[in-house]
Structure 1
Amino acid sequence: MDELLKNNLFATHAVAAAGSVALGTVLTYPLDTLKALIQVGSVPSKQLRPAKVVQRVQAFSGISGLYRGLGWLMLGRIPSVGARFGTYELLTAFYKDGRVDNFVHVSEALMAGVAAGAVESFLSSPFEIIKLRAQT
């Protein structure tokens, strides 16, 4: 790990990862907003069309209306992803503690992943609800 930090390779990878996630979110978030608005505004007998939803959003709040709730998404995603990573790393370190081979078995990695995913969902769910309300 010290070698990675000396060569700034770790920082480069961290910046590239954060940039790619941010770019992907910016590009796909309007689709999430459209999906939410179509689900909320449609009834079984009359489905809303995406073009009509975009037209209504632009009329009320401009193109920035497609990004409503993005701040809440980011506010919830950052700590929840960190908690997922931390939970997984702590559990896998606990599982391999004291072993000679220093490996984690597949079943242990699966259990750590399930627990980490549950922690992430628990932390991000309130922010997802607020995001959805901001979108609609």
Structure 2
Amino acid sequence: MSAPTPTLVHYHRKARELEIGYADGSRHRLSVEYLRVFSPSAEVRGHGGDTATLQVGKKDVGLADITQAGRYALKLHFDDGHDSGLYSWDYLDWLIREREANWADYLQRLDEAGASREPLGIEIRQL
């Protein structure tokens, strides 16, 4: 089953949330932190098996830019420099549907690793 194509994509900078709207009138807001820690990139997800890298310290991450990749995905450019993942319509749909379970799993993995959502040390940004 193919996911619907969004008709609206809006970044709420102050709230650090990406709003995604569809033709049926539904709208969903996903935190940029959630999108960053669940990036579909190989850098985050690995190359299969248990090669994923737990993302830590991403609580305050924002978006520097959003671009469309063809007719099937968004490319999110995070302000921490990460921009290698393509968020297909199917993947965004999965992130929306599984948000609560994904987030609970992420928090559990952080806890088990003794890690935190808080940024590590001094934040350095290049504009």
Q: TM-score when scaled to structure 1?
A: 0.27
Hey, which of these two has a bigger chunk of helix by percent? 1
Q: TM-score when scaled to structure 2?
A: 0.29
Ranked by relative contact order (alpha carbons within 8 Å, sequence separation 6 or more), the top structure is 1
Hey, which of these two has a bigger chunk of strand by percent? 2
